[in-house]
Structure 1
Amino acid sequence: MQEYDLAIIGSGIGGALIAALNKNKNHILFEKDSNLGGCASTFKRYGNYYNVGATTFVGYEENHIIKKIFDDINYVPNIEESKIAIRTIQDKKVVDRVRNFEEFLIQIQEYYPNKNNRIFWGKIKKIDERFWQIKNIHFAKYSLKSYLKSLLTFKDLIKTFEMDLFKSASSFIKDTLGDISKEYQNFIDAQLLITVQSKLNDVSLLSMALGLSYPFHKVFYVNNGMGTIIEDILKEVNVHKKEEILNIKSLEDGYLIRSSKDEYKAKNIVLNTTIYDSKNLFDEKIKSYYEKFEFSDQSAFTLYLKIDSKKEFLEHYQIILKDDIPNCISNSFFISFSKLNDEKMSQNGYSVTISTHTKVTTWKALLNEEYKKQKEITQNFILEHFLDYFDTIKQEQIIKIFSATSLTFQRFIGRENCGGKAINLKTILQTPTCKTPFKGLYNVGDTIFAGQGWPGVALGASILDKELNEEF
């Protein structure tokens, strides 16, 4: 039986970063799919390449966690900075999320006029800048040392943000902007759903600031697909693709791992599965620990298009509608175009990923024929509105079209939901951490503190890496 110091289950952003940071250790990484990256993977279908879900790469800049980790593993990604992070379109209101604050503020004031817009967005940007300047952020439980480190982080947060740390997003909006229009609230909610998977009524001021501020950072297009980054940083890692982990048994000196192909032994395990799916791998003792985390029902509905066109498009758009999309919990959808000169992604025309938010239970409740019917209704609704806004694209130019629900994602990347519970003062004590009560067992990923997307997951991976270094 092969024995390892570290076994990593799952090659999503968190698992990939941990594996790359520990590539000099006696390690192994398992991925059940043929593609690496989970929600950040790139897959091939009908001879064309598509990004599964994650399409924006942000935070590769000085004094940011992504740049630090990539420098540590000596990796330079093949990326191009986007001049406009997102073009948001709501009826006839067009706002370009650009890095330049004054340029952005002019647009906001034109379409969503408010005497305190500068105060609101200035505070949002300042909170975000201050957060990423804090050093040694830590959040873990189950040992005295972990609690003390977490307490120091909380002390730094209070020192940095004072009473702002305890404010909710909705109360801050009320205090600064007052009673905003439905259109303005939809504009804010639509962007928060992209980044923190929640609307403003469910998040803290800090979470809202981090979620709304990412376009003030450098936002990049990843050449050859998002999955290329994952594949590149795992080149020196012992990766076992198309090998599913069936169960894990705790031993006195580690863990016994049984996969679809073999058995292994590891002293330490990092789970890049979701906090909700991890329970399926263990017997009662460890299973009961994971069962206490309330399932996040939120997921994604994603549309994939191949479009034969030579028109120039931005990399990212967001369309905000008046009414919710059928079978979804959002009235907006996010569009990502491949670059026309991307030889891999655009070899037969634009590769387009369109995503919106839905619930896992919506699709699990449907029987086979009704499932197909509702999936087609949602797909056609999104496509119709997409073509309305992009009138230079004709129906006949769409070479391929298919879509994915939470059931599709479960089948291919092993997860139904999208992200974890929103972090606020009410939920922080129930928020899972990288460290578990069980020696040598750790978590990483977007359902674990600290959050969503590349920056949030990378922050969690950085915290976990420090925990692991103390173990080895």
Structure 2
Amino acid sequence: MKKVEIAVIGSGIGGAMIASLNQKKDLILFEKDKNLGGCASTFKRFGEFFNTGATTFVGYEENHVIKKIFDEVGLKPELIESHVAIRTIQNKKIVDRVENFEEFLSNLNSVYYHENNRIFWKTIKEIDEKFWKLKKIYFSKYSFKAYAKTALFIVELFKEFGFLLFKTADGYINEVLPNISKEYKAFIDSQLLITLQTTSKDLSLLALSLGLSYPFHKVYYSNGGMGKIVEDLLKEVNVSNKEEIISIERFEDKYKIISTKDEYLASKVILNSTIFESSKLFLDEDIKKYYEKFSFNDQSAFVVYLKLNSKENFLHHYQIILKENIPNCISNSFFVSFSDINDEKLSHNGYSITISTHSKAIFWEGLTKEEYENKKEETKDFIINEFLKNFDFVKKEEITVSFAATSKTFNRYINRTNCGGKAITLKNILELPSCNTPFKNLYNVGDTIFAGQGWPGVAIGADILNKML
């Protein structure tokens, strides 16, 4: 049995960051798949490279936690700035989300005019700016010290935002943008689905602000694919990929880990698995029960991958908003990511395109094999047809490769069926999982743990956990 100080299970964004921060320690990172990065990995199929899911990189700027972590581990990622963070297209109407506020507002007013647009979006932007200037961002449980530091963060939040903390997103929208059009509301909610995996009806004003404001920051494309950032983070880390963890059991004051290749005895275990699916790893009943109390978040993704042999110039990111929901999905929009035209790896034989939308994991689980294949093909064909309608200068024959992935596909490769955790609301904030657990030296990191979605949210969790270690 091999002994190790820290075992990190999973190479997603959180696992990669916490492993890189502790790479000089006696540490091993396990990854089931051959590709590193989980939902942020880059994979090869049909001789071409594609981004699995995550395609936007934001938060790499001074005084932000991602820049702090990357500087600490000595990583300067190879990034290309997206001068338009995302172009939304709805009924042929175009709004570009750009960093410059006045430019964005002018564009917005030409499409979704409201007399209070400046008030609404300026408040959203200011709340986001204030949040990222907070000095005591922290959330953990299960010890006096943890609760005390969490309390200090809550005090700082209240001091900065006051009663705005208790406003709901929908309440604020209805208050400041009365009689908002159905189209305009769809524009807002479609962006929230990208960043927070839910719409305004489930969010606080603070969450709404953080979710809508990412285009006011610098947004980047990762040259060589999103997985390149993860691979670079883990360059000096002891990584064992294609090694799946079968079981974990407490053994005296340590953890006995059995994998598909070997047995290990770890002093500390960090799980980058989803919080509500971690129970299946453990043999100890009390640990299993702890993880089972977190309810499953059924929201997942349906992703279409394309190779497009076109000479046209494209932005990195688009969102297409339709009138009706996509078949077998829960969204009326899809997010389109193009590889950069100068990316020698992903754009070698034309653009590599990732198109994603939202569906329910349980829907795909409940189908027969024939039903599954038919509905998967139906959804893929619908999305491709709508893609071609909105990029009418693209010819269907220019698509040289096309295939799709459901929650079942993701489970086969990266051991998860969902995307993201539950959105943070005033109702559930005390029930949120933290990076630490009631069990000594057992920790969690990733997008189902406070503080939430995307690189910035996961980085906050990784930074808090690193302080615990």
Instruction: Decide: shared fold, TM above 0.5.
Output: yes
Instruction: Quote the Cα distance in structure 2 between the aligned partners of 1:11 and 1:17.
Output: 9
**Which amino acid is 2:336 matched to?**
I
Alpha-carbon distance, 1:136 to partner:
2.7
Deviations 1:319-343 (A, max 9, x none): 0000000011100000000011111
Q: Normalising to structure 2: TM-score of the pair?
A: 0.99
Offset of 1:406 from its aligned partner? 0.2
Contact 2:136–2:152 (8 Å) recurs in 1: no
- Corresponding position: 1:414 with 2:405: no
**C-alpha displacement at 1:251, in angstroms?**
1.8
Contact 1:310 1:340 in 2 (8 A): no
- The Cα of 1:174 is off from its aligned counterpart by 1.3
TM-score for the superposition, normalised by structure 1: 0.99
Report the counterpart of residue 244 of structure 1 in structure 2: 244
Distance 1:434 1:180 in 2: 39
What residue in structure 2 maps to residue 182 of structure 1?
A: 182
The corresponding residue for 1:98 is 98
Partner of 2:89: 89
What secondary structure does 2:180 align onto?
Answer: coil
Q: Equivalent residue for 1:53? A: 53
State the one-letter code of the partner of 1:422: A
Moved more, 457-466 or 8-17: 457-466
Q: Which residues in structure 2 correspond to 1:302-451 (within 5 Å)?
A: 302-451=303-452
Give secondary structure in 2 for the equivalent of 1:376: helix
* Partner-residue secondary structure (3-state), 1:5: strand
Mapping 1:185-196, distance limit 5 Å: 185-196=185-196
Q: Quote how far apart the aligned CAs of 1:43 are.
A: 0.1
SS at 2:286 equivalent: helix
Query: What's the offset of the Cα at 1:179?
Result: 2.4
Cα distance in 1, alignment partners of residues 25 and 178 from structure 2: 54
Q: What is the aligned partner in structure 1 of residue 463 from structure 2?
A: 462
* Deviating 4+ runs (over 2 angstroms): none
Q: Distance in 1 between matches of 2:237 and 2:2?
A: 16
Separation in 1, partners of 2:64, 2:259: 37
CA distance in 1, matches of 2:9, 2:92: 46
Q: Determine the C-alpha separation between the residues in 1 that align with 2:295 and 2:325.
A: 26
Deviations 1:309-365 (A, max 9, x none): 111000000000000000111000000000111110011111000000000011011
Report the Cα distance in structure 2 between the residues aligned to 1:424 and 1:307, rounded to whole angstroms: 40
Q: Which residue of 2 aligns with 1:37?
A: 37
Q: Deviations for 1:74-125, whole angstroms, at most 9, x for unmatched residues? A: 1100001111000000012200000000010111111111111111000000
Distance (Å, rounded) in 1 between the aligned partners of 2:107 and 2:22: 45
Q: When the two structures are aligned, how many residues end up with a matched partner?
A: 468
Distance 1:115 1:398 in 2: 43
Partner of 2:277: 277
- Tell me, yes or no, if the aligned pair for 2:136 and 2:156 is still in contact at 8 Å: no
- Corresponding position of 2:211: 211
Contact 1:315/1:339 (<8 A) preserved: yes
Q: In structure 2, how many angstroms separate the alpha carbons of the residues matched to 1:330 and 1:153?
A: 35
Alignment partner of 1:291 is 2:288: no
1:152 aligned partner: 152
2:211 corresponds to which letter in structure 1?
A: G
Q: Which residue of 2 aligns with 1:134?
A: 134
Distance 1:178 1:140 in 2: 38
Correspondence for 1:119 = 119
> Are the aligned partners of 1:245 and 1:259 in contact in 2 as well (CA < 8 Å)?
yes
Q: Deviations over 1:211-248 (max 9, x none)?
A: 00000000001101000010011011000000000000
Counterpart CA distance in 1 for 2:134 and 2:418 is: 30
Aligned partners of 1:49 and 1:351 also within 8 Å: yes
Q: Give the AA of the match of 1:72.
A: E
Uncovered stretches (5+) of structure 2, i.e. residues with no partner: none
What 5-or-longer segments of structure 1 have no aligned partner?
none
Secondary structure in structure 1 of the residue aligned to 2:310 = coil
For 1:282 and 1:390, the matched residues in 2 are separated by: 49
Q: Secondary structure at the match of 2:186?
A: helix
Query: Does residue 453 in structure 1 map to residue 454 in structure 2?
Result: yes
Q: Does the CA contact (< 8 Å) of 1:258 and 1:264 recur in 2?
A: yes
- 1:18-55 alpha-carbon deviations (Å, 9 max, x no partner): 00000011110000000000000000001000000000
Three-state SS of the structure 1 residue aligned to 2:276 is coil
**What SS class does the counterpart of residue 330 from structure 1 fall into?**
coil
